[in-house]
């Protein structure tokens, strides 16, 4: 449980950790080669631990010290991923392409033990079929075969981050070039391309597509993952919701354009420099309207945190969710804290209140948990948040960083 005594303006500086969503596919990329892959700026998160455990289970030798992970050849690459690990984290499914490309066969449990539900993997499988893979699903596990993947052109109906990463990973060992039309362009996907290029499979971005030139074998590489734009945005919103002033060092302003534009619309002062971003707000924010979109649009992972910020805005704000329709799981908890929220279809309406009040709440997922933390920081009196294990999946040393900014927060039994 996390206990927060709210109502204190946050002031000071924190440093953004490495990006979780860049670290996870980078770890999966290490499966493409027996040579060492050295990954720097790796955040200490439960999801990263899970990805490294999966790499070990598949035969990699893993050493992780401070923020650097070294993944070497270890044993022969295994062909089947443990269901327990894939069930813990959706990004584990990205191991399918590398294992299939190297071994010619792979067995991968469906992520979370579910079928092709609200966050399906059908785009992954359809793309890999275009590269020559064959699939059979038995007992919740996908059995894949391909004597040799062959590069081709794959069109994505939606610019899916996971499907784009899966195809780049598999295409790196495919024969010839693999081109993804309508790819995801999130910074984390671009960062994976940088790593694959360093490993010997050049990745080239064009106006409406991305191409990876496959190689029979890939080498090792040293790579520093980009800063976590979602973590950085969360701390900037923490400063704004408490009407304080927060600087995030190590942040990439160009990765935060959509959020910074909304903060400016809300009346905050924003200062962006190379390697840092600062936000200051001394009064109630103005209402703004947010619509999540694939990058460079407003990120879906920051939708719950910005809604928490807008609960005390002047007037009515709206947030339309176009990426993950089930992303309003935090609404009941924020309502318990005094927020005036209504959801109609894919749109949330927030009528700003003067102040929130502390209450016992539970985090249902990572970003919903971040929204509750932000609300608790601004609320009157004390908030107790359970489900802190979700926050540990996506935020490195959350309690310590908040204390650095002056928050009265502690981890309690």
Q: 244-263, pLDDT tens digit by residue?
A: 999 999 999 999 999 999 99
- CATH numbers and ranges of domains, the chain: 2-16+227-411 (3.65.10.10), 20-224 (3.65.10.10)
As a whole number, the mean pLDDT across the chain is 95
111 — pLDDT class (breaks 50, 70, 90): confident
Q: 252-306, pLDDT tens digit by residue?
A: 999 999 999 999 999 999 999 999 999 999 999 999 999 999 999 999 999 999 9
Average pLDDT for 142-164: 96
Q: 373-412, pLDDT tens digit by residue?
A: 999 999 999 999 999 999 999 999 999 999 999 999 998 8
Average pLDDT for 101-110: 94
201 — pLDDT class (breaks 50, 70, 90): very high
Residue 119 pLDDT exceeds 70: no
Average pLDDT for 168-183: 98
118 — pLDDT class (breaks 50, 70, 90): very low
| pLDDT score recorded for residue 117 | 32
| pLDDT score recorded for residue 115 | 31
H helix count then E strand count, the chain: 14, 23
Q: 309-341, pLDDT tens digit by residue?
A: 999 999 999 999 999 888 899 999 999 999 999
| pLDDT score recorded for residue 112 | 54
The catalytic site residues sit at 114
| Distances 189 to 52, 125, 164, 275 between C-alpha atoms, Å | 19, 18, 8, 20
Q: How far apart are the first and last CA of the chain?
A: 6
Asked whether 354 and 391 are in contact (CB, 8 A), the reply is no
| pLDDT score recorded for residue 263 | 98
Residue 245, token pair as written in the block: 């002033």
Asked whether 292 and 221 are in contact (CB, 8 A), the reply is no
Residue 409, token pair as written in the block: 């927060």
Q: Any idea what DSSP says for residue 311?
A: T
Residue 5, token pair as written in the block: 């005594």
Q: 344-353, pLDDT tens digit by residue?
A: 999 999 999 9
Average pLDDT for 193-201: 98
Residue 393, token pair as written in the block: 């999946």
Residue 113 pLDDT exceeds 90: no
């Amino acid at each position: 449980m996390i206990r927060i005594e709210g109502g204190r303006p946050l002031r000071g500086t924190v440093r953004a950790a490495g990006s979780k969503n860049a670290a996870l596919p980078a770890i999966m990329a290490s499966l493409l080669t027996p040579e060492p892959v050295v990954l720097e700026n790796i955040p200490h998160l439960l999801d990263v631990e899970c990805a490294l455990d999966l790499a070990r289970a598949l035969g990699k030798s893993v050493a992780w010290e401070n923020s650097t992970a070294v993944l070497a050849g270890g044993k022969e690459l295994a062909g089947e991923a443990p269901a327990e690990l894939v069930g813990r984290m959706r990004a584990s499914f990205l191991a399918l392409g590398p294992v299939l490309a190297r071994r010619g066969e792979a067995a991968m449990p469906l992520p979370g033990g579910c079928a092709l539900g609200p966050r399906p993997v059908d785009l992954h499988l359809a793309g890999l079929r275009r590269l020559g893979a064959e699939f059979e699903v038995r007992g919740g596990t996908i059995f894949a075969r391909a004597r040799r993947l062959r590069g081709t052109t794959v069109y994505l109906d939606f610019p899916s981050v996971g499907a784009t990463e899966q195809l780049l990973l598999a295409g790196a060992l495919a024969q010839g070039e693999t081109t993804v039309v309508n790819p995801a362009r999130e910074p984390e996907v671009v960062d994976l391309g940088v790593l694959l290029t360093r490993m010997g499979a050049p990745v080239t971005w064009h106006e409406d597509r991305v191409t990876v030139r496959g190689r029979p074998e890939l080498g090792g590489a040293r790579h520093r993952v980009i800063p976590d734009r979602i973590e950085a945005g969360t701390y900037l919103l923490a400063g704004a919701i408490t009407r304080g002033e927060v600087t995030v060092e190590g942040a990439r302003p160009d990765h935060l354009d959509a959020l910074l534009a909304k903060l400016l619309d809300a009346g905050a002062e924003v200062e962006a420099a190379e390697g840092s971003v600062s936000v200051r707000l001394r009064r109630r924010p103005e209402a703004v309207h947010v619509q999540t979109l694939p990058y460079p649009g407003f990120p879906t992972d920051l939708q719950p945190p910005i809604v928490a910020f807008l609960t005390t805005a002047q007037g009515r704000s709206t947030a339309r969710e176009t990426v993950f329709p089930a992303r309003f799981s935090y609404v009941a908890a924020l309502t318990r804290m005094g927020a005036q929220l209504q959801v109609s279809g894919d749109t949330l309406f927030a009528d700003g209140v003067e102040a929130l009040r502390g209450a016992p709440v539970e985090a249902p997922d990572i970003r919903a948990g971040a929204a509750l933390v932000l609300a608790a920081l601004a609320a009157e009196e004390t908030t107790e948040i359970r489900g802190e294990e979700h926050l540990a999946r996506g935020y490195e040393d959350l309690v310590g960083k908040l204390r650095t900014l002056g928050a009265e927060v502690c981890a309690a039994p």
